[in-house]
A and B are shown apart, each in its own frame.
Chain A
Amino acid sequence: MQPAGVKEVQARGVRRGALGLAVCAVLLVLAMLASLAIGPVTIAPARVMEVLLAALQGERAAGVREAIVVLDIRLPRTLLGLLVGMALALGGALMQGIFRNPLADPGLIGVSNGAAFAAVGWIVLGHHAVDALPAGLAALAGTAGLPFAAFIGALLATVALYLIATRDGRTSVATMLFAGIAIGALSGAGTGVMVFLASDQQLRDFTFWSFGSLGGSTFAKVWAAAPFVVLLLLAALPLARALDAIALGEAEAFHVGVNVQRTKRIAIAAVAAAVGAAVAMAGVIGFIGLVVPHLVRLALGPGHRVLLPASALLGGALLLGADVVARTLVSPAELPLGVVTAMMGAPFFLGLLLRRRAALGG
């Protein structure tokens, strides 16, 4: 018996977690600064800070181009990227925990499929709805229609999956997984029909939307998405112990006192709303939800008390980094953000799989 062993192991874990969180937070701050300072319009970092500090004191030189670029274009874009990255990565960590599967991503609960179907539906058929609206509403629908439709589509898909997988108050994640594949195929077919009906322009709109972008970020979008992401953070962080227990199995989690059904309900609802909002604002952005929790687990261990906040921080950092690449690599054109995250994420992920295969002797 070496009682010190456990103490040491636990202390090491706590130290590693604290250090990891600090590193993630620093990375996030650096990514935010990079996102504010780097873009096709060259502005010296010192000048960026000047503009930001002046704005903080309520001063703002109207019409100055640097102020417009930093405050009206890059600042909302940075904030929206932060929210979207947090939602995707934290959503991925939660889904991996609930599904007990390190390959789960937020798309598993139908959010992306539902949102994509609704988005293409809006792009192709939305003008009929707009025509039927009174002028004031039509103007609103012109700017908010696409994100709103995508958000509703995401929620409806998740609600459908949840209802299919829930019986007698118990949600079977296995059923949810399979129903997700079916609903995915169904909305894929619906998306195909819309694509068939689409004109060239609509097709292009949808294709660029479906690869994701932070272009066109406004404070209005930031304020619209923020409550859902904050709600996700508030809902997710207290679930850490429950998710640790669920890693042993749902029955075992119940044995140690976890209300498993409630945990699943909260996690699914919070993820659907936040990831739905993220997809609505920025389109489908892959790999962040899959890779970030993986990275964190690799570096800091699987305990959700650290995994959840660290994923949120690192998710925001990685997405902002990817966006800096997206908007500078082929400037003045902009690479689709989902393409950048996939190009960064997919090789990393393959490497991970190969390493694991080697470890398993496969």
Chain B
Amino acid sequence: MRSGRAFLVASLVLLLTDASFSLRAEEPKPALAQSEVLPAAETAHIVAIGGAVTEILYALGLGERIVAVDTSSTYPPQALGTKPNVGYMRALSPEGVLAVGPSIILAQEGSGPPDAVTVLKSASVPFETVPDARTPEQVVANIRHLAALAGVKARGEELAQAVERDFATLAAFRARIASPRSAAFILSASGAAPVAGGRNTSADALFALAGVTNALSTMSGYKPAVDEALMAAEPYALIVMDNRNHGLTNEALAAMPAFAGTTAAKAGRIHRVDGAYMLGFGPRTPQAARDLMAMVYPELNLPALPAHAWTAGSRAEPDSEPPAAPAAAPAGSGQPG
């Protein structure tokens, strides 16, 4: 019983710190000035920690040099599929990370625990962090920074400009929205109060990119929402993170008290999305935002963004719900922009 209590307290602390992370992440980051280029020997064996970091490194063509990744590095599939896993980014074990023999550790902001990071930083292996991105500028800055650290500045510039172009196209799409619609981002709906995304969340940032209003912007962070408050917020669409929700069907979702009264549920506007793709804020983010926009504004008949090597296989809506309209066709399916 005692250990149970201790655990609960620990999780509460974790949630609180989580929230503070998201608060901090909101502030604009200074462009990373220290673009010192490390000697090639130092970047031969990279440990990549954080989904966006891994994605960027693969997009830079550095997949070969990665010796280990963390659990959140779900894209591209070969990352976790072929590389050793050093555990979850917020619960790193210094010894486990050092055991894979890294020459540099590239980590996303929020990697931890802080003590583990301190140990790693003192282990004479360069430990570099990039901020959590919530804006196109930060995504592109992260690409340039990581490319510089890895000594592939030119390739980095190429990738950064490609992503910038995609963001520009996205901005043009956004301009076509006549009257913005609102949506609610549902992180999980396990049967109790649904956990939804408020202000200062990656979901809120993605909504902004997609020209979608967050129906729950009156709360902050990912929080359980009161059923009737969610209903009263009248989201036009429900964006549900598909976290293998244990066979929870759309019918079951639509029957939950929070959703049953919404027009979104009645009109079948429930969309399940891949969390890593939608909330990752890496090089695929323009595509993710465009896919979200296509879900909420199907009448715009948005074309797909150009496919790239680093967007291969990305799908907004996972297998369980095949896309109904051609407008919602997954990015990277080969259609030229």
Contacts and interface: CB of A to CB of B under 8 A. Distances in A.
Nearest to A210: B8
Interface stretch (A165-173, A211-219, A238-246, A264-272): A211-219
A331 B4 contact: no
Nearest to A206: B11
B131 interface: no
A202 B224 CA distance: 14
A141 B252 CA distance: 10
Contacts of B14: 203, 207
A188 to B, nearest CB: 3
Q: Is the interface of A mostly helix, strand, loop or mixed?
A: helix
B2 A184 contact: yes
Interface string B5-25: 011100110110000000000
Given A213-B192, A333-B229, 12 more contacts: A69-B231, A72-B261, A74-B228, A126-B246, A184-B2, A204-B15, A205-B188, A207-B12, A208-B192, A216-B258, A334-B225, A336-B224
B247 A141 contact: yes
5 contacts: A73-B228, A199-B71, A208-B193, A215-B193, A215-B227
A205 B195 contact: yes
B312 interface: no
B229 A332 contact: yes
Given A39-B226, A142-B246, A331-B229, A191 B7 contact: yes
Contacts of A192: 3, 7
B260 interface: yes
Q: Is the interface of B mostly helix, strand, loop or mixed?
A: mixed
Interface stretch (A10-18, A143-151, A290-298): A143-151
A200 B22 CA distance: 14
Given A41-B232, A201-B188, A334-B226, A208 B3 contact: no
A69 B228 contact: yes
A126 B188 CA distance: 15
A216 B256 contact: yes
Contact of B193 (A122, A126, A146, A213): A213
Contacts, number: 192
B257 A184 contact: no
A41 B229 contact: yes
A133 B257 contact: no
Nearest to B260: A72
A211 B224 CA distance: 11
Contact of B252 (A65, A143, A200, A333): A143
Contacts of A299: none
A201 to B, nearest CB: 5
B1 A113 contact: yes
A116 interface: yes
A187 interface: yes
B193 A207 contact: no
A73 B252 contact: no
A65 B4 contact: no
B187 interface: yes
Interface residues of B, number: 57
B25 to A, nearest CB: 15
A39 B11 CA distance: 28
Contact of A142 (B1, B7, B230, B252): B252
A45 interface: no
Interface residues on A, range: 35 or more
A214 B6 CA distance: 23
B95 to A, nearest CB: 16
Contacts of A333: 198, 219, 223-226, 229
A139 interface: yes
Contact of A145 (B11, B246, B257, B258): B246
Contacts of A107: 1
B233 to A, nearest CB: 7
B191 interface: yes
Contacts of B236: none
B241 interface: yes
B35 interface: no
A41 B228 contact: yes
Interface in A177-233: 180-181, 184-185, 187-189, 191-192, 195-196, 199-211, 213-218
Nearest to B15: A207
Contacts of B248: 142-143
Given A139-B247, A146-B190, A211 B219 contact: no
A327 B224 CA distance: 10
A142 B245 contact: yes
B249 interface: yes
A185 B224 contact: no
Contacts of B306: none
A127 B244 contact: yes
B151 interface: no
A127 to B, nearest CB: 4
B194 interface: yes
Contacts of A276: none
Contacts of B232: 40-41, 65, 69, 332
Interface in B47-89: 71-72, 88
A202 B191 CA distance: 13
A216 B191 contact: yes
B190 A187 contact: no
A258 interface: no
A141 to B, nearest CB: 5
B224 A215 contact: yes
B3 A185 contact: yes
Contacts of A147: 191
